[in-house]
């Protein structure tokens, strides 16, 4: 791998980590807001998590493009770490949406409203 490609690779991994971390933070923030009954703000944070996950997917796609599907890029610990962060952020976002809905229903008196 050339030095330029290696630098691009590292930059893309770091961007993936940043976006995944932002998504996770926003989803956790959404849960905390919902627990306080602040559902509108919780939904805004959940939407922010979704935007960060979309950005992380773009970084992931860029990494796949650098690899060209042929195993050109090394599978490093930081790459595995970044992928782990993205997967966890996606899971937290999905679960946060479900838990926020439960909080909302509980606040509404347990109805399906």
Residue 81 annotated as catalytic: yes
Inter-residue contact 96 to 35 (CB < 8 Å): no
Place of tokens 């923030």: 29
CA torsion sign for 83, 86, 90, 92 is: positive
As a whole number of angstroms, the distance between CA 105 and CA 89 comes to: 24
CA atoms within 13 Å, Cβ hemisphere of 94: 6
The residue annotated as part of the active site, out of 55, 81, 88, 99, is 81
Catalytic residues: 81
């Amino acid at each position: 791998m050339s030095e330029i490609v290696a630098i691009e690779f590292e930059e893309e991994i770091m961007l993936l980590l940043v976006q995944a971390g932002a998504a996770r933070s926003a989803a956790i923030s959404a849960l905390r807001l919902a627990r306080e009954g602040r559902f509108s703000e919780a939904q805004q944070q959940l939407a922010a998590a979704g935007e960060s996950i979309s950005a992380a997917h773009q970084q992931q796609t860029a990494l796949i493009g650098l690899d060209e599907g042929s195993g050109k890029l090394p599978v490093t610990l930081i790459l595995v770490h970044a992928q782990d962060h993205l997967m966890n952020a996606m899971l937290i976002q999905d679960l946060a949406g479900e838990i926020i809905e439960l909080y909302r229903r509980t606040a509404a008196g347990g109805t399906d409203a």
